Amino acid sequence: MTEESERRPETPAEENGSAGVFAVLGKQLKLTRERAGLNQREFGQLVGYGPDQISAMERGVRTPRPEFLRRADEILGANGMFIAVIPEVEEAMTRARTRHPEWYRGYAALEAQAVSLHDYSTMGVLGLLQTEDYARAVFTQRHPPLDEETIEKRVADRLSRQQIFEQWPPPEFSFVIEQAVLERPIGGLKVHKDQLRQLLRIGRRRNVQLQVMPTGRHEHPCLDNGFTLLIPKGKEQVAYMESQEYPKLISDREEVRVLAARYGIIRAQALNPHESLDLIEKMLDGR
């Protein structure tokens, strides 16, 4: 990977100058929250966001949605301060874009347009589902090592992709995760538990079906790499997979059909969503 292909904005809008809007707004949000005597977790619970999402907004690497700003204004007693900036935020959002490494940009553009996305994960938690600390641990542990600036840029890009969960109308999501992935404590115990809580939060969304493939299954329809199936708005379904950062974007109808059929079998053999969330809760409780 060349230096030029790796270099990209730390925030979703740095390249076009609108990053300043998000940075200033993030500082105002943090100051107002602290004056209200709330930590990030407490505030997140009140507005329906996780602490990592609040942290990302306060640092300017995640765009606050208008509905979030209205709720925050009410909870923090901001007297209309956050509501007043909604027009500027909406304008900045129309200009904001996240750059990714050259090899990833084609898929990233399609993912941002997805009306449905289905993923099977075998080695780690999918980037769309990761907490900030989990993502940072993944990139920090990469070999050969990445420099600190690159790590932070990659974390910021990964968090910015998660805004797809806040789109309206919401895309349809399904995720199947191997149980072994959930048992691997990447980043340590605290990071691991926070990641499990994140999966519970996302898995309880009405437009999300999250399933776990138990390790004890005697039969398995896919012992190869994981893969993602998605349908971009107005386009046909495509598939994406990568191995050791070698990406493959698949648009051939027959290849996509085979993967879609395989994914259907994977879902049928996995725990159902209710059983899966129950298993994650038990893992979180240490039972």
Cα(190)–Cα(176) distance, rounded to whole angstroms?
23
**Are 152 and 61 found together in one domain?**
no
Cα(200)–Cα(67) distance, rounded to whole angstroms?
22
**Are 109 and 88 found together in one domain?**
no
Task: Look up residue 230 and give its amino acid.
Answer: L
Contact between 176 and 121 under an 8 Å Cβ cutoff? The reply is: yes
Edge-to-edge order in the sheet of strand 246-250: 208-213, 172-178, 114-121, 227-232, 238-243, 246-250
Task: Write the burial class of residue 74 (CB in 10 Å: 0-12 exposed, 13-18 middle, 19+ buried).
Answer: middle
pLDDT at 196: 97
Start-to-end CA distance of the chain, whole Å, equals: 44
**Are 89 and 119 found together in one domain?**
no
Residues 231-286 pLDDT 10s: 999 999 999 998 776 788 999 999 999 999 999 999 999 999 999 999 999 999 87
Contact between 229 and 259 under an 8 Å Cβ cutoff? The reply is: yes
pLDDT at 128: 94
pLDDT at 102: 59
238 forms beta bridges with 230
Q: Last residue of a domain, which of 75, 95, 115?
A: 95
**Are 229 and 264 found together in one domain?**
yes
pLDDT (tens, 9 = 90+) of the chain, 287 residues, equals 333 333 333 334 444 445 667 788 889 999 999 999 999 999 999 998 888 889 888 887 777 888 889 999 999 999 999 999 888 877 766 554 445 555 566 788 889 889 999 999 999 999 999 999 999 999 999 988 988 888 888 888 888 888 899 888 899 999 999 999 999 999 999 999 999 999 999 999 999 999 999 998 887 777 778 999 999 999 999 999 987 767 889 999 999 999 999 999 999 999 999 999 999 999 998 75
**Are 128 and 251 found together in one domain?**
yes
**Are 183 and 207 found together in one domain?**
yes
CATH number of the domain at 30, please.
1.10.260.40
Residue range of the domain that includes 237: 105-285
pLDDT at 100: 57
pLDDT at 245: 67
Residues 194-212 pLDDT 10s: 999 999 999 999 999 999 9
Residue with tokens 């038990």: 282
**Are 71 and 112 found together in one domain?**
no
Q: How many domains does the chain have?
A: 2
What global pTM score does this model have? 0.69
Q: For residue 5, give both structure tokens.
A: 């292909």
- The region, left, alpha or beta by phi > 0 then psi within -120 to 50, assigned to residue 92 is alpha
**Are 162 and 281 found together in one domain?**
yes
Question: Looking at the domain assignment, is residue 157 inside a domain?
Answer: yes
